[in-house]
Structure 1
Amino acid sequence: MRGPAAREDRGRGRQPALRPDPAGLRLPLRAAVIKGPRRIRAFGLRTRLLLAFLLVAAVSAGTTAALTYREARNALLETAQDTAVTSFRDHVQQTSFALPLRGGDSLEEVLRDIARKGKPHPWVVFAEYGSLRASSGENPESTVITPELRRTALANPHGSFERVVKDGVPYLTIAMPMVFKTSPDSLLPSGLVLYAVMPMNDEQINVDALLMAARDGALPGLAIALIPGLIASRSVLRPVRELRHAARNMGSGRLDTRIRVRGSDELADLARTFNESAGQLERSVQELREAGERARRFASDVSHELRTPLAGMLAVTEVLDEEADRLDADTARAVRLVSAETGKLAVLVEDLMEISRFDARAAELNTDEVDVAEAIRKTLQSRHWTDDRIRADLPDDIRARLDPRRFDLVIANLVGNALRHGRAPVTVGLRTAARPDGPPVLITEVTDSGPGIRPEALPHIFDRFYKADAARTRSAGSGLGLAITLENVKLHGGTIRAGNLPGGGAVFTVEIPLHAEEAGT
């Protein structure tokens, strides 16, 4: 569309009348499927499902193993310390009846006796009475007795204990004060406190064994969990793969594609929804196909039937045009109006027949080796576009394999459209260009000096009967010129695009392979 009231049209200068083509009125509806390279997804749905399943299994196994380990460890350590505390308390109570010391017994000997009675526990017993210190072992390990335990022992006549790790070795330290029972409910501290230090190496070994067992049990569990994970992912992905395959089939035009419904879960609901949507789409497309078929047949039949009476009308109007100068002014004006409108009707009929051929895929390309610059000059001369309104930049010696008739229509449509809806001068340029990813192309540009194409009209510039100005219901052309131009360019395997120049004015650029037949048209 050109300018405020732009509308596409094509130049005149027709070839001999086109024959109707009833064989090409069927147009199967097929969707274009763009197939690109299939990407390898490192983290596809199957991988994510397996990872999620394994993560859940790992969390479950780890949580279960950690809880089991904690409970077993606590039970093991509590059993060991309860036994040790009870045993040591009993020995201390038995020792309390022997106080004060008899004969030559020394405090060290009493402590050693308590340590011997504590077997099989490898106790080392310490005694503290004020500043007096004594030990049952040759290598005292009193450093594991913390100040907190000493303070607790002096405050609690029933004793206390704690677990301490020293140089990586776990110890159980027990503090038991010596008391005198003055009455059933009264205890009198003697000031003597006995400490038992027991290494817990055996218990630590058992705890480490529990940890190893929990770990060794969790790893096979994860391996076993992989099997139901594979089965689950397969059951989930099967409907997804079927849906993808069905969508691809529908994209290629097989609208009767359906998915088998299994079960009653969400995936089954998805399959049913897809089938219902596919059925509705198939019915809608069938209705559109039939409507389009009827519309194409109607346009073709009407245009064909109108050609015969129009031929007679054109002959009569030509005679009337010749006699118009001899008639009075009003009659002459009416005669010329009838002649002009009859010509427009004839153009519209031939345009409809031409576009019907493209719709029916019946248009053929009859190529020949031509001098492109000379072909464009003939197009301009045959339409009397040789005045100063047209500027031609046509280098010689550019030859291409084209359909001369269709290329003539392309140039005529673009130049005529520029003259009607743009502003003179109109420039026709010609050049060739190499393409790194394809054959060399012939580039033809038609520019004008008008206001250009409005931005909202650019996406619809090649639509049939499109008008940029809805208030303009009539124009000099049929409204099919640029649509026919697009089809002719595509038939050559080329492209056409419209745009605006930076300084104003519209530009149409046509790119056609220099050898149209080699372009796979």
Structure 2
Amino acid sequence: MKKAILAGLRWTSLRLRLVVVFALVALTAAVSASGIAYWLNREAVLVRTQDAALGDFRQEMQNRAASLPLRPTAHDLQTTAQQMAASSRSGYHVSSGYQVLLVDERDPGKPIVGASDVDRFTLDDVPASLQEAVAKKQKVTDSNSYPYHLFWQRRTLRGKPYLVGGTKIIGGGATGYMLASLDQERQDLNSLAWSLGIATGLALLGSALLAQAAATTVLRPVQRLGDAARQLGEGKLDTRLRVSGTDELADLSRTFNKTAESLEKKVSDMSAREEASRRFVADMSHELRTPLTALTAVTEVLEDEADSLDPMIAPAVQLVVSETRRLNVLVENLMEVTRFDAGTAKLVLDNVDIADQITACIDARAWLDAVDLDAERGIMARLDPRRLDVILANLIGNALKHGGSPVRVSVRVEGEELVIAVRDHGPGIPEEVLPHVFDRFYKASASRPRSEGSGLGLSIAMENAHIHGGDITAANSPEGGAVFVLRLPRGGGEEA
């Protein structure tokens, strides 16, 4: 389930971005190409239709409208307009021809109009601006040989597109207007737009498929690299990638393999040195136990005879006794540490009354007068009694040694967790020392490298808490003094 979620997250990140980028690029290119193609085709179609219609209309004006009598009748204009329209339908094959409207004056101020089809084309359909442009006489110059020109406009009439053109016979005569439908061209352009839209959609779909294939090709080595890095982080230092090709991803795989090989070698060397060091400490501690046993026996005899010794020799004997005991504690602690490092330390769990266990720990070390216990009887937990005694002895002993009495030990239950707080009334722990109080052989003052303890007590207490599945924290109380808080699960840790 977790791998599936991770895979989904990977898909929605880099893979999706690649697909989206490919799709956007393809969409932009397709839309741009389709838009340009549509615009070019539109202009080509409209210009071709427009030029053909206007050219045919100009020719008809020269051939037929110019042949009208000087003062034509409305019938003359209508007949000529119908002939021009019929000629456009037979010769103008781009669409269905055009309608014609002829305007002239039989008498001054009395215009007459002849239309090829009054139901389809009247003077009202001709824009006023176009009428003005057609009727306006231009000045004849070297660059302008004619006083009248052919003008045109595209406009929408009754919901359909049309081309409206007009011109005037030079030298006096009728003014002609034509109306050509562009509906067929609009339909052709709409069909072209649909075709380009479908082509754009197909291009977008194809680009998405290509992007998916490209993303798979690119991301597969990246995914393998991520899996290999994850395995390397999990401790599988022999993980290597198969390298193929000469591209950047292949170079990255080679770099990863070299890094993994170097890391494996360094970790192997460090592990070998650590194992040798641990074995040396274990062997040394084991070998020291035999002579220490003999020394302990001798020192006990000397201690029993201390009252009968020469006063000049007694201090030396007491020093030998105390240092022998300290050495014995140090060796036992070193052996305990090597068991933790080797992973051979085990729990022997039992149901323990916490109040009774703390009382027994304090009583065994004659601390009853210096320790204030706040714990209700009947609080049970499944723990290793010996290891709990080691934790309590170290925490309470450390509080008495460095903080001074009275030391307060309080017990409470928070859910399924047992919380034991040990607080002293001393000066507290310096802030720079707090992060290191559980380090092995840590000395708060470099000017006092030698102390009565082994320097391993708090470290061993922490290891015993961890093997139970718990933890110990150290802090300074706002009311003064240091507070060590032990948290242990009431259900017990790992079984032996």
Q: Which residue of 2 aligns with 1:511?
A: 487
Is residue 256 of structure 2 the alignment partner of residue 286 of structure 1? Answer: no
Measured on the aligned residues, the alpha-carbon RMSD in Å equals 2.9
Q: Which residue of 2 aligns with 1:486?
A: 462
Candidates 243, 251, 270, aligned match of 1:269: 251
Q: Please give the per-residue CA displacement for 1:252-302, whole angstroms capped at 9, x wherever unaligned.
A: 322111111121222212211211111111111111111111111121122
Candidates 359, 380, 383, aligned match of 1:377: 359
Pairwise CA distance, 1:496: 2.4
Per the alignment, do residues 363 and 74 of structure 1 end up closer, same or farther by CA in structure 2, a change over 3 Å counting? same
Aligned-partner Cα distance in 2 for 1:151–1:336? 132
The answer on whether the counterparts of 1:373 and 1:394 sit within 8 Å (CA) in structure 2 is yes
Q: Which residue of 1 aligns with 2:291?
A: 309
TM-score (normalizing by structure 1) = 0.81
Q: Please give the per-residue CA displacement for 1:347-406, whole angstroms capped at 9, x wherever unaligned.
A: 22221111001111111222233332222111111111011x210112112333322221
Per the alignment, do residues 97 and 394 of structure 1 end up closer, same or farther by CA in structure 2, a change over 3 Å counting? closer
Q: Specify the SS of the correspondent of 1:179.
A: coil
Is residue 454 of structure 2 the alignment partner of residue 472 of structure 1? Answer: no
Is residue 373 of structure 2 the alignment partner of residue 397 of structure 1? Answer: no
Aligned-partner Cα distance in 1 for 2:301–2:384? 35
Aligned-partner Cα distance in 2 for 1:198–1:217? 32
Is residue 93 of structure 2 the alignment partner of residue 118 of structure 1? Answer: no
Per the alignment, do residues 124 and 442 of structure 1 end up closer, same or farther by CA in structure 2, a change over 3 Å counting? same
Aligned-partner Cα distance in 2 for 1:378–1:316? 30
Q: Please give the per-residue CA displacement for 1:326-353, whole angstroms capped at 9, x wherever unaligned.
A: 6676654444334333332222222111
* Aligned partner letter, 2:67: A
Pairwise CA distance, 1:314: 3.4
* Aligned partner letter, 1:93: Q
Aligned-partner Cα distance in 2 for 1:124–1:482? 111
Is residue 417 of structure 2 the alignment partner of residue 441 of structure 1? Answer: yes
TM-score (normalizing by structure 2) = 0.85
The answer on whether the counterparts of 2:101 and 2:123 sit within 8 Å (CA) in structure 1 is no
Is residue 333 of structure 2 the alignment partner of residue 354 of structure 1? Answer: no
Candidates 446, 463, 473, aligned match of 1:497: 473
Aligned-partner Cα distance in 2 for 1:133–1:419? 128
Q: Which residue of 2 aligns with 1:235?
A: 217
Q: Which runs of 5+ in 2 are unaligned?
A: 139-146
The answer on whether the counterparts of 2:68 and 2:76 sit within 8 Å (CA) in structure 1 is no
Q: Please say which of residues 286-295 and 311-320 is displaced more in the overlay.
A: 311-320
* Aligned partner letter, 1:168: G
Aligned-partner Cα distance in 1 for 2:299–2:124? 129
Q: Which residue of 2 aligns with 1:169?
A: 160
Pairwise CA distance, 1:325: 5.6
Q: Please give the per-residue CA displacement for 1:72-126, whole angstroms capped at 9, x wherever unaligned.
A: 2211111100101111111222346425536756444444443333334122325
Q: Which residue of 1 aligns with 2:148?
A: 157
* Aligned partner letter, 2:165: I
Aligned residues: 471
Q: Please give the per-residue CA displacement for 1:163-195, whole angstroms capped at 9, x wherever unaligned.
A: 122343111111323223xxxxxxxxx496432
Aligned-partner Cα distance in 1 for 2:278–2:329? 18
* Aligned partner letter, 1:277: T
The answer on whether the counterparts of 1:124 and 1:198 sit within 8 Å (CA) in structure 2 is no
Q: Specify the SS of the correspondent of 2:12.
A: coil
* Aligned partner letter, 1:124: V
Pairwise CA distance, 1:149: 3.0
For 1:190-201, list aligned pairs within 5 A: 190=172, 193-201=175-183
Per the alignment, do residues 418 and 66 of structure 1 end up closer, same or farther by CA in structure 2, a change over 3 Å counting? same
* Aligned partner letter, 1:366: V
Q: Specify the SS of the correspondent of 2:163.
A: strand
Candidates 432, 435, 443, aligned match of 2:413: 432
Pairwise CA distance, 1:320: 4.3
Aligned-partner Cα distance in 2 for 1:82–1:374? 112
Per the alignment, do residues 520 and 195 of structure 1 end up closer, same or farther by CA in structure 2, a change over 3 Å counting? farther
The answer on whether the counterparts of 1:126 and 1:142 sit within 8 Å (CA) in structure 2 is no
The answer on whether the counterparts of 2:101 and 2:122 sit within 8 Å (CA) in structure 1 is no
Per the alignment, do residues 128 and 54 of structure 1 end up closer, same or farther by CA in structure 2, a change over 3 Å counting? farther
Is residue 204 of structure 2 the alignment partner of residue 222 of structure 1? Answer: yes
Per the alignment, do residues 468 and 85 of structure 1 end up closer, same or farther by CA in structure 2, a change over 3 Å counting? farther
Per the alignment, do residues 341 and 520 of structure 1 end up closer, same or farther by CA in structure 2, a change over 3 Å counting? closer
Aligned-partner Cα distance in 2 for 1:520–1:55? 60
Q: Which runs of 5+ in 1 are unaligned?
A: 1-34, 181-189, 435-439
Aligned-partner Cα distance in 2 for 1:392–1:77? 102
Q: Specify the SS of the correspondent of 1:239.
A: helix
Q: Please give the per-residue CA displacement for 1:444-503, whole angstroms capped at 9, x wherever unaligned.
A: 221122333344443333222233444432222111111111111222233322233332
Q: Which residue of 2 aligns with 1:32?
A: none
Aligned-partner Cα distance in 2 for 1:338–1:354? 24
Aligned-partner Cα distance in 2 for 1:131–1:460? 116
